[in-house]
C-alpha cells in the first residue's frame, strides 16, 4: 500500500510541475478543464488501478489465511505487526504460535 501512496505523491508533483509550465500557453478558462483531466488521467486513475491490483494480489491472504483473523494483522498493509513481516499463502510469520483472536 505504501508503494501506491509513494507513486501517487510522485505523480502529483510531476503533474503540478507540468501544469505550471503549460499554464501560460493555455487560456485561463480552459486551464481548469485541462488541469482536471490531467489530474484524473495521471494521478487518480493509476491509483485506482494500483489499488485494485493490490487487492486482487492479496485476496487469498485477506480472506483465507490464519493471519487475517489475528489481532496483530494489519489489513491495509497486509502485514503482521508483531513480527513486522509480510505473510504469504505458504508462510505465516509466527507459525501460529502467537496467534490471538481479534
Strands, E assignment, the chain:
73-74, 79-80
Task: Say yes or no: 51 and 92 in one domain.
Answer: no
Q: Tens digits of per-residue pLDDT, 38-71?
A: 999 999 999 999 999 999 988 888 888 888 888 8
32 neighbors 1 (Cβ within 8 angstroms): no
- 3-state secondary structure (DSSP) of residue 73: strand
Residues 19 and 44 in one domain: yes
Question: Is the domain of 32 the same as that of 66?
Answer: no
pLDDT digits (tens, 9 = 90+) for 16-42: 999 999 988 888 889 999 999 999 999
Percent of the chain scoring above 90 in pLDDT: 45
Q: Which domain holds residue 93?
A: 59-102
Same domain? 16 vs 51: yes
C-alpha to C-alpha distance for 37 and 41, rounded to whole angstroms: 6
Closest among 55, 40, 32 to 8, alpha carbons compared: 40
- With 0.75 as the threshold, say if the pTM is over it: yes
> Do 64 and 91 reside in the same domain of the chain?
yes
Q: Are 64 and 53 found together in one domain?
A: no
Amino acid at each position: 500500500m505504501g508503494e501506491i501512496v509513494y507513486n501517487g505523491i510522485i505523480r502529483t508533483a510531476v503533474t503540478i510541475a507540468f501544469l505550471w509550465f503549460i499554464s501560460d500557453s493555455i487560456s485561463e478558462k480552459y486551464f481548469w478543464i485541462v488541469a482536471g483531466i490531467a489530474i484524473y488521467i495521471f494521478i487518480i486513475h493509476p491509483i485506482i488501478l494500483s489499488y485494485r491490483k493490490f487487492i486482487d494480489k492479496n485476496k487469498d491472504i485477506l480472506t483465507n489465511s490464519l493471519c487475517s483473523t489475528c489481532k496483530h494483522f494489519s489489513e491495509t498493509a497486509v502485514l503482521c505487526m508483531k513480527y513486522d513481516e509480510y505473510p504469504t499463502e505458504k508462510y505465516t510469520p509466527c507459525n501460529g504460535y502467537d496467534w490471538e483472536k481479534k
